[in-house]
Every structure is written in C-alpha cells, then in structure tokens.
A = this chain, B = another copy of it.
Amino acid sequence: MLIERIERVLRANLKEAAHPETPPRLGQALVHAVMPGGARIRPQLALAVSLACGDDDPHLSEHFAGALELMHCASLVHDDLPCFDNAAVRRGQPSVHSQFGERLAVLAGDALIVMAFRSVIRCKTRQAHRLADVLGYLESAVGPSMGIVAGQAWECEPVAQIQVYQRLKTGALFSAATMGGAACAGADPRAWRVLGEALGEAYQVADDIRDVIMDTVALGKPACQDQALDRPSAARQLGLEGALGYFDQLIANAIEGIPACRGAVRLRNLVLKESERLLPLQQRSMALDPLASASMASS
C-alpha cells in the first residue's frame, strides 16, 4: 500500500528529528505537525507516478514523497500563525502555535523545510545522478518565485494576481509530485505536468467548496475563511453549482492527462477515488441544496 510506505518514511524522519540532542519541545512540536496526518495525497500521488514509471529506485521515490508531505506540513504550520490565518485548529487538533507557542511554531516550520531536504539528500539512492533533478522539483515547489512561499506572499501584495496565487499556493506541490515522482524513476517528467496541475487546481476548488458548505467541526479548521479573509475562491466566483462543474472538468482533465504507461489504470482509479474523497456525494448534495446546507451548518 502506498500510504504505508509513506507513513513509514515519515516516522523514520521524525525519529531522526527526535535525536537526543533535539530540544524536547521542538521534537514534540514536529511530531504534532506531522502526525496524525491528513490524506497524504501529495506523497501518494508522487509514489503512484513513480510506480507507474517502474519505481526502479524505491528509496529515492519514498523519501521524495515523504519530503513533499513535510513541506506541506511546514506550510500549514506557518500559514496557521497569528500573523497569517491565526488558526487555532488544524486537522481537528490544536494548531502547532496554539499548543506549543508561536516561537516553536516558527521553528518547527523551519525545521520541517530542512528535514524535507535532508530526507532526499540522505536517502540511499541507487541513482545518485538523479538527485539534483529530484531536489530541484522539491525546491522550486516551495520557493519564492514559483512555489508555496510565493503563493503565500501574494497575500501580502496590495494587488494580487489571483490566478498566479491559486496556482502557486496549491498547484506547485501537486506538479512537483507528478513530475518529481517521474524523475525519481528515471522517466521524462514533462509528460506528467498536466496530471499534477489539473489535480492541484481540483484540490483547491474542492477546498473552496467545502469552505462554504461545511462547518468548523466537520472541516477540522475554521470554516468560511475565504470570505472572512476576502480570499479568491472558485465557489465565490462561479457559485457553488458552477464550482462543482469546474471541479468535475478538472478531474476529467487530470484523467485524460495520464500518459500511456503500465500503471495508467491504477492511477486513474486513484484520481477517481481521490475526487470522491475530496467531494463526497453528501457534500455535493449540500452544495446544490443551500437550504439543506444551511440547516446542516446550524445543527
């Protein structure tokens, strides 16, 4: 199972972080930031693409997949800080700064970025000549021009380029997952761009829809943040029905974007399963029936 390989590599990363010399509360904050996880969709995607391409270097693909998740966790910890979203809750438990204070939240985010690079740098790859390429996908997915940091920093600009912002904020790690996953297995990464970009945007649209229709308890984080923080949102721009149609189109694009390969069927199933997890039937009904949604939210 993909998820088991991912949890194993994440546990290994955290164990190393809990070195005797690691300050104990920092170690606890790191575990809190990573465990228990969300759906681990980015690393699952990376590993599924590596498998579809032959996965001839499983150490490299697993550590790259784990590194994507560590980067994602780092971005959540820093996004939740008081100066950004000031979110008290994340994945149904207190956010890192709520539990450990702001200083350890800043440091835990920094540490997770470093641990992500470390995980790939120190993995026992059989293909050392792939290392620079794979690390390149990792760093550009989080960096200041094309990555997560850029996406978050557009929130600090007086005039934000909304499309750029959305693509970077969630799309960067998804594209890195598919293209980097291919690079781990020695395949041509360019053929895998469409799948990553379409899924990344679908993920963002689903998030926008859920932000509107779900309450805080069900969401595991504060609801209606996009409106409260005046953030761009497909649900606000297209309406809930329009956003649902757009989501379905993006999933169709993602499936069409899967290159011909021996793992194509498995990948198609993963994308379909993920689309149902992202927007279950019940939530679709809620999106199309505002009254049901309203009574649900007030219950």
Which residues from chain B contact A100 at a C-beta distance below 8 Å?
A: 156
Bound Cα distance from A156 to B101, whole angstroms:
9
- A251 interface residue, CB < 8 Å from B? no
Among residues 100 to 117 in chain A, which have CB atoms less than 8 Å away from a CB atom of chain B? Answer: 100-104, 106-107, 109-111, 113-115, 117
Bound Cα distance from A180 to B24, whole angstroms:
28
**B19 contacts A146, CB within 8 Å?**
yes
Interface residue from B83, B103, B109, B153 paired with A23 (Cβ < 8 Å): B153
Given the interface contacts A132-B131, A144-B17, does A26 sit within 8 Å of B149 by beta carbon? yes
Interface string of A19-34 (1 = CB under 8 A from B): 1011111110010000
Which residues from chain B contact A111 at a C-beta distance below 8 Å?
A: 143-144, 149, 153
**A153 contacts B107, CB within 8 Å?**
yes
In the complex, identify which listed stretch (A134-142, A208-216, A219-227, A254-262) lies at the interface while the others stay far away.
A134-142
Interface string of A31-66 (1 = CB under 8 A from B): 000000000000000000000000000000000000
**A114 contacts B22, CB within 8 Å?**
no
Could you tell me the distance in whole angstroms from the C-beta of A148 to the nearest C-beta in chain B?
A: 8
Bound Cα distance from A155 to B263, whole angstroms:
49
Bound Cα distance from A114 to B150, whole angstroms:
12
- A3 interface residue, CB < 8 Å from B? no
**B114 contacts A139, CB within 8 Å?**
yes
Chain A interface size band reads 35 or more
Among residues 115 to 133 in chain A, which have CB atoms less than 8 Å away from a CB atom of chain B? Answer: 115, 117-118, 121-122, 128-129, 131-132
**B101 contacts A145, CB within 8 Å?**
no
**B121 contacts A106, CB within 8 Å?**
no
**B101 contacts A121, CB within 8 Å?**
no
**A83 contacts B110, CB within 8 Å?**
no
Which residues from chain B contact A146 at a C-beta distance below 8 Å?
A: 19, 21
Could you tell me the distance in whole angstroms from the C-beta of A240 to the nearest C-beta in chain B?
A: 30
**A110 contacts B110, CB within 8 Å?**
yes
Interface residue from B19, B81, B145 paired with A22 (Cβ < 8 Å): B145
Bound Cα distance from A1 to B122, whole angstroms:
33
Instruction: Name the residue in A16, A21, A84 with the highest tally of chain B Cβ atoms < 10 Å from its Cβ.
Output: A21
Given the interface contacts A103-B156, A110-B113, A149-B26, does A118 sit within 8 Å of B143 by beta carbon? yes
Which residues from chain B contact A103 at a C-beta distance below 8 Å?
A: 83-84, 155-156
Find the B residue at minimum CB distance from A119. B139
**Shortest 10 CB-CB distances between A and B: which pairs?**
A19-B145, A111-B144, A26-B153, A23-B153, A83-B102, A22-B145, A118-B139, A121-B135, A114-B143, A111-B149
Q: A104-B153, A121-B135 are in contact. List 9 more A-B contacts (CB 8 A).
A: A23-B150, A83-B103, A83-B106, A84-B103, A103-B156, A107-B156, A111-B144, A114-B139, A114-B144
